[in-house]
A and B are shown apart, each in its own frame.
Chain A
């Protein structure tokens, strides 16, 4: 029977209360002493062949009959007023089918999509749909926009001085930090400056809209098909039943693609006007100007501790550059929640700048906050004369320090021990030398949420060929969650994961489901999948019981067969399903909430070993040991892949990725991939990856998330390793050769 229940979920540091529809579920948990079949076995991505061969069709690949190509005019100025624009001249260009300017396009989430006062370089002003890309480009040239440049602010300190906030400042206090600091035996103060990191998903933001009298279909590269649907309904005043959002294959998002985006609204409006399908794919440059970034932030810490290294008080502030959008990402969460510390006073100041809107970026706030605070902790360890890992052990907490809630599971201390052993931590000082190449080793802790929760729904059907079709209300942004779902279903049905067809990414296929973010997708959907699979399993066993005249309770599904527990019967599952003819056996499942009153978190520790070339300033990350507690690992191959990707993206933040803004013009000078340096696979160091988490006893299936955790400790561990190697600390990332050499001089 279905019930509506009220639940609490923590999404990227924000607690949300939701009403959610849940089905009663009688699926038994996996017994703790028995490995659950294919769950936990390395499984190749189901979509690997399609992705490698190019047959996978991404949104940017869509080619509908009579499809038009769209382009967007963007402001070249950091802040300007549009004084004139020749929309009619653009309309007169042969092949042009629709042209829209400021005021012609519905809003997106209550904000203007096309601006008459574009507040940053790259803000959209007008859009064109034409038969060909070339015609659209020609029309673009005909627009002949005239601008009145306005004053702008792109400097964090200037914005702070002007007190122009993009979001409300966040203040957090517990205990009495001021008094505790004054009384502390050891006090250190330190500052750090984090860069703006650009997402650069492989697939840019893109949308293909097909507006028809009976409704709108939008193919969107999105992390949230249901959110996209709601936004389109809001923008165009449509009913949910008349909007369909599809995202079959997706080339990443990293937090920048929640919903349909302004590109979805523009494509839909152009399609509505032209009466033709319209494709809008952002160029890499436009992508890097207008679709988000990890916020640059200036951190200041004052830390008080006892001579034993135990934290007593922290005062901290973080000034974030949000640009013209985004929210106060939890940059000081690592201060607040990772260690025991009674007295805290934390201030987060989200500033407005004449730059594109910020967006969530893989562990938003927490990664850059961890980078800064974990280095400040190493400074404290040095002041206290303590081994950095020992300092962290001494400040370990058994309950969430901000709420006092117990954790559903926590294996952080085990992570430290295993990481230290694998990295050779105890001999780390032997790496150091005074030579041209200096080596060092550093560590950092990892903390994230990722417990998942409702809403999540799944449907399974199996027909005569014994090959189930699993439908899940979600989209796979490239994490491999689709394959993990197939693994979970395969276990229930006693078959191989590659025999499962998984359908996702279509609002018309499944009613509802989670967006892909907060490392929550698998932990959310897997229990629903298993429950749906269990219903089908139960029915198949009942059918088999009728056929073979053995009680269903004495039958099981294993290795593609129906077997009796006494070993006398072994028949292919197909022998049962073939009797179905064209009928299906179906089952549905939904996700129940997590336990109340408990903190659900992932934990971990990474240790990085670096080599610094003191003549060129080049840093090479030689080795990273990554130990994470993420509960049950469903697919170790996919999990390791996530860890490698997170580490590489963390290396980019630490060593080479930085949006550079020209202070004289307020525009971005390295929006292209030639000058914005993302590490390549060839830059991946040796990685030793381990998971220490046992299945979480309080969570459905024991699964916690992994999308974000691997990137969180990497830059901090690198920063600490560089400081260990050089005997001095770089306070600004990325650690480019120039900054390294300046620090050495």
Chain B
């Protein structure tokens, strides 16, 4: 599984220079190296390590939102109080990626650009209107996350483009959010089915609802019918059920050893319902533990519908 060449960049420009000649970027290595060892895909011929590029690190607040450097780890996100308060669904997702070791080594940039339809953070980033900055030797462009994914493992990024940061605008007051996944175990798991809900309440009325489904289609995407079912409603159980059923109706799951298409479709409704209910609870100022998933399905706090 050896690569032919390996360089370690100290700046974004150096990394872009290497990428312009065909090198693939590597940071935590939790997808690329593990995949190569497991025989999924060989390592690329040329690698450029970006883990020492300090300008790609960290999470910073800027006017109107939060900026996640491409090297921000899942553990960084969970440790960020702004992320937990304002982008709770993203914290829900980041807190359950892989294991403790994966979350400490794995980066948000790698997670996004790996473009797995089962990745945990994709749904929350899409629903929060995150925008990716893609830089290459020839320029910079910004792509909304909702336009980034084109298929399993595929994005609109060109070979020489590096994701440098993700900008997420602060949601409006009265917003609550949740990412929930169906998991067969508490760690080292990949979503069998995932659902994201970002709900903004105005008084008792849903002013804006964002709902995305994960591991239920070739790409993670929002479901307009589900959002419509909730928008303008009083966030009643009936509205939540209708939205969840719409999300399930939009799913196009596959059958594999982890679950049949039939089971996944049935679970799409259940998971979406739990995500929406929890988002509403949080939008109303109620507290629900982060990550939401174990508490949602676990026995102890299984209050959601």
List chain A positions with a Cβ less than 8 A from chain B: 134, 436-437, 439, 610-611, 613, 615-616, 618, 620, 622, 655-656, 660, 669-670, 672-675, 677-683, 736-738, 741
Q: Are A682 and B186 in contact (CB under 8 A)?
A: yes
CB <8 Å contact, B299 and A611: yes
- A675 surroundings in chain B (CB, below 8 A): 256-258
Question: Within residues 245 to 279 of chain B, which ones have a CB less than 8 A from any CB in chain A?
Answer: 256-260, 263, 266-267, 270-271
Contact of A677 with B302 in the complex, beta carbons under 8 Å: no
Instruction: Beyond A655-B184, A680-B185, A741-B266, list 12 extra A-B contacts (CB 8 Å).
Output: A437-B302, A613-B299, A616-B267, A616-B297, A620-B297, A675-B256, A677-B185, A679-B185, A680-B186, A680-B188, A736-B184, A737-B259
B216 to chain A, nearest CB (A): 15
Contact with A along B176-208 (1 / 0, CB 8 A): 000000101111101000000000000000000
Nearest-neighbor residue (CB-CB) of B190 within chain A = A674
Is residue B298 within 8 Å, beta carbon to beta carbon, of the partner chain? yes
Q: B236 at interface (Cβ–Cβ under 8 A)?
A: no
Q: Is the CB of B185 within 8 A of A437?
A: no
Q: Which residue of B lies closest to A613 (CB)?
A: B297
Once A616-B267, A675-B257 are accepted as A-B contacts, the answer to whether A681 and B187 lie under 8 Å apart by CB is: yes
**In the complex, A57 Cα to B241 Cα: how many Å?**
56
Contact of A620 among B99, B263, B298 (CB under 8 A): B298
Complex interface: chain A residues within 8 A of B150 (CB): none
Q: Are A613 and B302 in contact (CB under 8 A)?
A: yes
Instruction: Give chain B nearest CB distance to A201 CB in angstroms.
Output: 17
Interface size on B (CB < 8 Å)?
27
Q: Take A436-B302, A674-B190 as given contacts and tell me if A616 and B182 are in contact as well, using a CB distance cutoff of 8 Å.
A: yes
CA of A429 to CA of B138, assembled, Å? 70
Dominant secondary structure at the B interface: loop
Closest 5 CB pairs of A and B: A611-B299, A682-B186, A680-B187, A682-B187, A437-B302
The answer to whether B259 and A616 touch across the interface, beta carbons within 8 angstroms, is no
Contact assessment for B185 and A656 in the assembled complex, using a CB-CB cutoff below 8 Å: yes
Q: Is the CB of A437 within 8 A of B299?
A: yes
Query: Interface of B with A (CB < 8 Å)?
Result: 1-2, 38, 99, 182, 184-188, 190, 256-260, 263, 266-267, 270-271, 297-300, 302, 305
| Docked complex Cα distance between A737 and B270 (Å) | 13
Contacts of A679 in B (CB 8 A): 185
Residue in B closest to A681 when the chains form the complex, CB atoms: B187
Among residues of B, the one whose C-beta sits closest to the C-beta of A436 is B302
Q: Could you tell me if A669 and B260 are in contact, using CB atoms closer than 8 angstroms?
A: no
Contacts of A741 in B (CB 8 A): 263, 266
Docked pose: A106 CA to B187 CA in angstroms: 43
B-chain residues with CB within 8 Å of residue A680 when the two chains form the complex: 99, 185-188
Provide the bound-state CA to CA distance between A741 and B38, in Å: 33
Residue on B nearest A133 in the bound complex, by CB: B1
C-alpha gap A433/B293 in the complex (Å):
23
A439:B299 contact, CB within 8 angstroms: yes
B237 vs chain A, min Cβ distance (A): 13
| A73, chain B: closest CB distance, angstroms | 14
Question: Nearest chain B CB to A665's CB is how many angstroms away?
Answer: 14
Sampled A-B contacts (18; CB under 8 Å): A134-B1, A436-B305, A610-B299, A616-B270, A618-B182, A622-B300, A655-B184, A669-B257, A672-B38, A675-B258, A680-B186, A682-B186, A736-B184, A737-B184, A737-B263, A738-B259, A738-B263, A741-B263
What CA separation (Å) do A610 and B299 show in the bound complex?
A: 8
B287 → chain A, closest Cβ, in Å?
A: 20
Q: Which residues of A contact B297 (CB under 8 A)?
A: 613, 616, 618, 620
With CB as the reference atom, state the residue of chain B lying closest to A736: B184
